[in-house]
Amino acid sequence: MNDDIPFGEPFSNRLWIVKFPGTLNFSQQRQIALFLKETAGSALSIDPSTDLTKLQTRDLLALAVRAHRRGAGPNIVGSFLALSAERGSLIAIAILAQFIASELRRDADCGYLIDDRREAMITLGYLKRALDSVPFLEKLEKYRDDIVDLADAVQSDEIWQKVSESIGAKADYRVVAPGLKSLAHLESGGKEFEVLKNPLRLWRTRVSTSVVSEVLAAEFPHLAAITLDVARFVTGEATESHRPILLVGPPGVGKDSIIRRAAELVGRPIGEYDLAGSSDNRVVKGTSKGWSSATPSHPATVCARSRCANPVLLYSELDRAGGSRRNGNMHEALLGLAEPTTRRNWFDDGLGVGLDLSAVSIAFTANGISATPVALLNRLRILQVDKPRPEHVRDILRQAQRRVAEEQAVSFEAMPEPSPLVIRKLESAARRGRFNLRLADRIARSLSELHSSMKLH
């Protein structure tokens, strides 16, 4: 997080003072969320795509703590607390009450609050009554659960804040489409692609390649032989990121997942596309300006949406890519994209200009290479991916349970332990070459559903 990014308050938000928790309608919650993104989004490194109204209480409170530590004004901190209290969390209500009380005790130059002192006092009274209505022992129990949850969220928030600071360590920029003039031929005027005319950040990280490799090896134990290569590719170490890579192996072993996870670990933007059955090269080259449905290429779209000049482009099922010379052969288009000199001035048929994609990293995955032209293969660094072995079953299943726990917003510790019989059957499947990550995910979900149904009965 950059210390030189200030908080701003371009418009006022009084809803956190004049509305009690439980009385905010959806429109008002959206209004508060918009206010927070406008005033604190950059300073708190909030992803522009994040919907604050859908965050859990613990995450909203963690943002309130971070905003307070960063010196944000009462309007911002109070708004985070209001959204938290709206979820019904007792500790959120208590913190909001204490926060309003402390603001009421501040000097008369506290600005906006003087005008709203009466409403603030009414809200404070309501909050106190809401707290008093909860029996003492029940209150202690809820406080304990909320405090543990909040402590975990704040700790997690601080960890990812450090990662965020590392990611944004170097502020380099590049114009992806310096020759871009008019976008009038695109639907809705092509406003989404206006950013390509301006300098876009070049993603950088201080996160160690060895650390990324170790994490990947723990999460994908059967792919330990290639985790360092993948880490070097995604973190951009030396020239490793400039030559496209191709992961080849059986279906369901985690070829796409390991690239996706590596990018996630270091916060690098990634755009994905499944090449299976592609009838032409328009996804890579874009649709010509001469057509009524002119569309920019996939690389241009990813750069524009991520506002990043060097995302990772992940193209899966390379061995199933189609097309013809008449409609535009996909392999020929990919051949040009894989060539560094061509990529530096990649002509986008949809935008009608050349793009500088020299900093983009390109990864492919495939089940085999027999259907891929040799000329294209010669430009790729091929990494062979193996099936999981019996000794990998426990670790892979544990990681699958972690993913399911995150999806279901429950603690990993609450996930049921697989029985010895389940482990033996999966190890047997691995010996026959029939165990993969997809099966592990299905087993993890089934165990979770069975555990939930048993708790209900």
Q: Is the pLDDT of residue 50 over 90?
A: no
What is the rounded average pLDDT of the residues 337-347?
89
Binned at pLDDT 50, 70 and 90, residue 112 comes out as very low
DSSP 199: E
Q: How far apart are CA 89 and CA 80, in angstroms?
A: 13
What is the rounded average pLDDT of the residues 203-217?
89
Q: Is the pLDDT of residue 198 over 70?
A: yes
In this prediction, residue 325 carries a pLDDT of 54
What are the CA-CA distances from residue 241 to residues 232, 245, 375, 380, 425 (Å)? 7, 9, 20, 11, 40
User: Which is more confidently placed, 109 or 314?
Assistant: 314
Helix (H, G, I), strand (E, B) or coil at 174: strand
What is the rounded average pLDDT of the residues 271-278?
88
Beta bridge partners of 172: 202
Q: Is the pLDDT of residue 355 over 80?
A: yes
In this prediction, residue 91 carries a pLDDT of 73
| Mean pLDDT lowest among 114-118, 122-126, 131-135, 138-142 | 138-142
What is the rounded average pLDDT of the residues 405-415?
79
What is the rounded average pLDDT of the residues 370-398?
93
Query: Is CATH 3.40.50.300 correct for 174-384?
Result: yes
Q: What is the pLDDT of residues 7-32, one digit of tens each?
A: 444 344 566 665 666 667 888 888 88
- Domain-by-domain residue ranges, the chain? 15-166, 174-384, 390-456
User: Which is more confidently placed, 282 or 252?
Assistant: 252
Helices and strands, counts by H and E, the chain = 19, 9
Q: How far apart are CA 112 and CA 362, in angstroms?
A: 51
User: Which is more confidently placed, 301 or 281?
Assistant: 301
Average pLDDT, the chain: 79
Q: Is the pLDDT of residue 163 over 90?
A: no
User: Which is more confidently placed, 277 or 13?
Assistant: 277
What is the rounded average pLDDT of the residues 304-311?
94
DSSP 308: B
User: Which is more confidently placed, 284 or 20?
Assistant: 284
In this prediction, residue 95 carries a pLDDT of 75
User: Which is more confidently placed, 328 or 360?
Assistant: 360
Binned at pLDDT 50, 70 and 90, residue 448 comes out as confident
What are the CA-CA distances from residue 411 to residues 95, 152, 402 (Å)? 24, 11, 9
Q: Is the dihedral of CA 369, 373, 374, 375 positive or negative?
A: negative
Q: What is the pLDDT of residues 220-238, one digit of tens each?
A: 999 999 999 999 999 986 5
| Mean pLDDT lowest among 89-93, 194-198, 268-272, 397-401 | 89-93
Q: Is the pLDDT of residue 6 over 50?
A: no
Q: Is the pLDDT of residue 72 over 80?
A: no
What is the rounded average pLDDT of the residues 28-55?
77
Q: Is the pLDDT of residue 183 over 90?
A: no
What is the rounded average pLDDT of the residues 407-434?
87
Q: Is the pLDDT of residue 171 over 50?
A: no
In this prediction, residue 108 carries a pLDDT of 45
In this prediction, residue 3 carries a pLDDT of 36
In this prediction, residue 39 carries a pLDDT of 77
Buried b (16+ CB within 10 A) or exposed e, 52-88: beebebbbbbbbbbbbbebebbbbbbbbbbbbbbbbe
Binned at pLDDT 50, 70 and 90, residue 134 comes out as low
Binned at pLDDT 50, 70 and 90, residue 146 comes out as low
pTM value is 0.61
DSSP 180: -
Q: Is the pLDDT of residue 152 over 70?
A: no
